[in-house]
Amino acid sequence: MQEVEVDAIPLARLETLLAPDRVDRLRMYAARARELLAGRVVWNVNATAQGGGVAEMLQALLAYARGAHTDTRWLTLNADPAFFAITKRLHNQLHGAPGDGGDLGDAERVVYEKVLAENLESLRSRVRAGDIVLLHDPQTAGLVDGIRRSGAYAVWRCHIGRDTPHPLADRAWDFLRDYVEPADAVIFSRAQYPPAWVSRDRLWVIPPSLDPFTAKNVGMEPAVAQVTLQRAGLVATGAVDGSLRFTRRDGSDGFVREHYGLLREGGSIPGTGQVVLQVSRWDRLKDMQGVMIGFVEHLDELPETAHLLLAGPDVSGVTDDPEGAAVLAECLHAWRDLPAPARSRVHLACLPMDDIDENAYLVNALQRHASVVVQKSLVEGFGLTVTEPMWKGRPVVASAVGGIQDQIEDGVSGLLLPDPNDHGSFGREVSKVLHDAELSARLGTAAHSRVQDRFLGDRHLIQYVDLFETLIGA
């Protein structure tokens, strides 16, 4: 196992965004946590330190927990491609999608348990009786029993799920059930996600949260966004004046590098263009090709200045997602099949993963520059790629699936697509926002308020303290 270094961030930074009553409540809970967790370590274990929403959330949330003077640490698994192929299969099937179509039988269980048994040895050398271990997603479920045998509390958190039953999801839960059932507590992002066999007296519903001060979410003036995107070769803004400096997670300075080739197809986006943006992993469930189809089929309805940008990570830098390269290749092939006029309006970018803080800062600039941000996922556990542009006051058009339904109030803080496969509805909703500046502004303002009220870290930390108090008290 690898330990991820997390620098403490004082709660005072988060408090600058909160009303006085929320500040008082957060301070009270921080004091309660220090007393409750004295002499204990809260461990978090997940698959990877970068490349996904779980890693981003942990980086910020644990920094505030350490800033509250609690001993909170983060470990990632050592695993091979065969293990990640199985856990990606579980991920897809829990959403009701076949993924690679492979089995979840005895052979897969042998591979899964072997990798986790090796990681358990490393984990048990660190964890002491009375510690709390938060295990994230299917990759870690097989560690539950070993942690409990060591005298620590085992809490399994699942960031994915679907609202309605599905045979494939049932199959995946059958694989995971024996691993998950012994957990002292189980956390889901929505009340609709847990299978029926999860004991309700051990179930907690805790949605994710966003940190407004990370490189991905920190305030950025339009001129800074423009010079950043020009420097990275993503949007031809022509901007030359403005700071290229950003603050890294450890507090040091970073600088946006000059990049060539981040845009895989479509060439640079004109600086005067209205950008329709989707940022996500190269994952079939994010339906990047569907976004492309919906945009192209409605070019006649869209403003002539509208351009679509599909932005995902450099797939070589995401170790726990074996499907990424194949999905990217499919999107590139689909782009090449478009008519020439459409190809000039559709752009695909792979953002660098060798500097995760710069990656986050580039996403920040893209989201702030975009005229509308979309997330046409076929399924979605929660969707930080929805929360992020909402915080930035951008209008968002997204599928009415999973946790997105908790984030966006349709017609108030964004627009929801009842059927994510309805390309016509998608195109019309995007066109509506691009043509109506008043609607765009109204949705963006309400979106920011929605995140302010419900999805900042103080709520998230408080819910964890309530959970820990229940565990230790029991």
SS3 breakdown of the chain: % helix, strand, coil, rounded to 5?
A: 45, 15, 40
231 belongs to a structural domain = yes
**CA contacts within 13 A on the Cβ side of 116:** 25
pLDDT for residue 276: 98
Q: Locate 440 and state its tokens.
A: 């765009």
Give me the domain span that covers residue 106.
2-209+456-473
pLDDT for residue 306: 97
Q: Locate 447 and state its tokens.
A: 């979106």
Q: Are 410 and 416 in contact (CB under 8 A)?
A: yes
37 belongs to a structural domain = yes
Q: Are 468 and 42 in contact (CB under 8 A)?
A: yes
Q: How far apart are CA 368 and CA 212, in angstroms?
A: 13
Q: What b/e sequence results for 96-135 when a residue is b if at least 16 CB atoms lie within 10 Å of its CB, and e otherwise?
A: bbebeeeebeeebbeebeebbeebbeebeeebeeebbbbb
217 belongs to a structural domain = no
Task: Give, to the nearest 10 degrees, the angle between helix 384-391 and helix 437-454.
Answer: 110
Q: How far apart are CA 74 and CA 93, in angstroms?
A: 27
- 228 and 319 in one domain? yes
| DSSP letter string, 416-463 | EES-TT-HHHHHHHHHHHHH-HHHHHHHHHHHHHHHHHHSBHHHHHHH
Cα-Cα-Cα-Cα dihedral sign, residues 223, 228, 234, 236: positive
- Amino acid symbol at 37: L
Q: Number of folded domains in the chain?
A: 2
- Ranges of beta strands (E only) in 240-371 are 245-247, 253-255, 263-265, 269-270, 274-279, 306-313, 346-351
- 202 and 81 in one domain? yes
pLDDT for residue 317: 67
- 407 and 316 in one domain? yes
Q: Are 314 and 276 in contact (CB under 8 A)?
A: no
Q: What is the pTM of this model?
A: 0.92
pLDDT for residue 149: 96
- 387 and 462 in one domain? no
Q: Locate 83 and state its tokens.
A: 């293990």
- 58 and 175 in one domain? yes
254 belongs to a structural domain = yes
54 belongs to a structural domain = yes
216 belongs to a structural domain = no
Q: Which of 395, 420, 421, 427 is nearest to 409 (CA)?
A: 395
Q: Which of 392, 288, 402, 306 is nearest to 350 (CA)?
A: 288
Q: Which SS3 state, helix, strand or coil, does residue 188 take?
A: strand
Q: How far apart are CA 241 and CA 75, in angstroms?
A: 41
- 276 and 410 in one domain? yes
- 148 and 35 in one domain? yes
- 468 and 435 in one domain? no
- 444 and 342 in one domain? yes
- 315 and 198 in one domain? no
- 263 and 127 in one domain? no
- Amino acid symbol at 163: D
Q: Are 469 and 32 in contact (CB under 8 A)?
A: yes
pLDDT for residue 342: 95
308 belongs to a structural domain = yes
Q: How far apart are CA 455 and CA 209, in angstroms?
A: 5
Q: How far apart are CA 345 and CA 80, in angstroms?
A: 39
pLDDT for residue 322: 77
CATH number at residue 272: 3.40.50.2000
pLDDT for residue 321: 75
Q: What single-letter DSSP state applies at residue 246?
A: E
- 279 and 267 in one domain? yes
- Output the tens digit of pLDDT for each of the chain's 474 residues: 999 999 899 999 999 999 999 999 999 999 999 999 999 999 999 998 876 788 888 988 999 999 999 999 999 999 999 999 999 999 999 999 998 899 999 999 999 999 999 999 999 999 999 999 999 999 999 999 999 999 999 999 999 999 889 999 999 999 999 999 999 999 999 999 999 999 999 999 999 999 999 999 999 999 999 999 999 999 999 998 889 999 988 889 999 999 988 999 888 899 999 999 999 999 999 999 999 999 999 999 999 999 999 999 998 867 667 788 999 999 999 999 999 999 999 999 999 999 999 999 999 999 999 999 999 999 998 889 999 999 999 999 999 999 999 999 999 999 999 999 999 999 999 999 999 999 999 999 999 999 999 999 999 999 999 999 999 986
Q: Are 66 and 54 in contact (CB under 8 A)?
A: no
215 belongs to a structural domain = no
Q: How far apart are CA 350 and CA 263, in angstroms?
A: 6
